[in-house]
Structure 1
């Protein structure tokens, strides 16, 4: 049964997310009052308002909401598996590998798979290589993180090589994948992400008790009845799935996976893996970051990945400089 603190935290994050969504649908080159936004969503607005809200902005907000939630849940999972606050898909190279494979599909290098499928393949390859290089430590310890950083650097270099060897039009089409953007996202990719996120969340809720025990030592987790190997493999597979699907929609917006779980752990009850709070926080961060990118220097648009990097990089430095904790909680 959820405790009062966690329930209050999730409810507060849900309210903030709804406010962010309404604000994002309201603001832009054409301003739409919030009451008119609600009327448009219910199908009662005039044709112009309905077009602006439902056709131009809603799909983008939905893409941001889903991708932010997926990245945040993947980050929370990876941090729990590695017992390290820095172990997020972006930092250990999964984002960059997924991006490299997606860019390869976009620029056309003889690969006919869809970007979403290629992003999943890239995320899986990066994770398998990092896991292999980490050896007996698996997803635990700094060796896994260092291996992932190296893989991410190589994947980033591959992306740049691919972009440098194609025509300028193809490079421009692939550019949003390299910085993170929600502009003109594929409806099919968003649908696949929605299905994957719903399935992943349902599975995580079923194994939430086992995930909670991973925050303790292996001996304690085993004593509590947790099947460590199976739980870690399933958690790692779900983290890869969520990351690959999210990157196929928004590109590498990696710091969402760092910021959202940290906020969720701060406001929720210690001792639990805050998957729901992380998802809500990640969705809110992504929607707000995209809103800022669209409106701060309008009509010039700043990709959402750049906004999150500006906000999240100082926090990453703070984590690195702050004395480490023994536990994620």
Structure 2
């Protein structure tokens, strides 16, 4: 039987996401009314409006929707697996490693794979190293987080070294990958992200009961019939996949994976892993941040990763300074 509170929360977040999508499509250097925006989406607008909405803005909005949802779901998964609110892909270095590998592909340092494939490889490598350094604790405890922070710092340094040793044109082409941006994203990468997000979501929904039990101790989870090792491996693999695919589209957009799950947990009924609510909140956060970056200082555009860092950093400090809830360390 569906939970009424969670259903209401998901419905409200979906409504906010639809509103944010329409406003983002309508707002920019060329202002379009909400009515004309809807007409353009239905294919009944004049050629100029149709070009602005469907050719210039729609692909960017779709990239923001998918990448924000993927990062938020990955963050929610990592927090659940580690039982720690700080265990998000950005904080434990997965974002930076994926970015380093993607940049290596863009600037051409002898690696010819597509940025999406390279980002996935980087995310997987960072997770494997952090997991190995954590030892018997696996993804649990602060050792995993500290190892991830160190890996992220190294990956960030490697990215800067690569950018400093290539021609200025190549460095400029790779720059958006280092700060997080939705500008001129590859349609192929967005398509791959969409397929990966859909597949990951379906798998996670089938594992929802097992994921809910991971919020308890291992003994309780096993007593409830959860196959801990298999659930953790699948969950970690999906978190890596979602992060790598999202970074291949938008770069390292920080703190979406922290803010969206926090909002979802605050709104939804305790005891559940709010993957759907987190995905909807993450997509909304990404669109709003991108909208602010495009319009606050127009015609100058601020990359979405910088906006999320400015907004999310004070909240991260607040999490570090306040007492933690019992459900997550």
Is the pair's TM-score, using the shorter chain for normalization, greater than 0.5?
yes
Tell me the residue number matched to 1:100.
Answer: 100
Q: Quick check: 1:72–1:282 contact (8 Å CA) kept in 2?
A: yes
**Whole-angstrom CA distance in 2 between matches of 1:326 and 1:162:** 43
Task: Show CA shifts across 1:120-150 (max 9, x none).
Answer: 0000000000000000000000000000000
Kept in 2: contact 1:71–1:254 (CA 8 A)? no
- Separation in 1 of the partners of 2:278 and 2:328? 14
Distance in structure 1 (CA, Å) of the matches to 2:183 and 2:314: 26
Counterpart for residue 248 of structure 1: 248
In structure 2, the residue matched to 1:275 is 275
CA RMSD of aligned residues (A): 0.7
Displacement after TM superposition at 1:4 (Å): 1.0
- Provide TM-score, normalisation by structure 1: 0.99
Alignment of 1:183-198 (within 5 A): 183-198=183-198
8 Å contact from structure 1 (residues 98, 247) kept in 2: yes
**In 1: Cα distance, 2:254 partner to 2:314 partner:** 14
* Deviation at residue 176 of structure 1 after TM alignment: 0.2
Q: What's the counterpart of residue 24 of structure 1?
A: 24
In the TM superposition, what is the alpha-carbon distance from 1:328 to its structure 2 partner?
Answer: 2.9
Is 1:322 the counterpart of 2:307? The answer is no
Aligned residue in 1 for 2:36: 36
> For the residues of structure 1 that align with 2:28 and 2:4, how far apart are their CA atoms?
38
Aligned residues: 329
- Pairwise mapping of residues 1-329 of structure 1 onto structure 2 (< 5 A)? 1-328=1-328
In the TM superposition, what whole-angstrom CA distance separates every residue of 1:57-93 from its partner, at most 9, and x where no partner exists?
Answer: 0000000000000000000000000000000000000
Tell me the SS of whatever aligns to 2:194. Answer: helix
1:252 aligns to what SS in structure 2?
coil
Measure the CA separation in 1 of the matches of 2:324 and 2:222: 26
Question: Unmatched 5+ residue regions in structure 2?
Answer: none
Q: What displacement does 1:327 show?
A: 1.3
**TM-score, normalisation: structure 2:** 0.99
Deviation at 1:325, TM superposition (A): 2.4
Q: Which secondary structure does the structure 2 equivalent of 1:43 belong to?
A: coil
The alpha-carbon deviation at position 254 of structure 1 amounts to 2.5
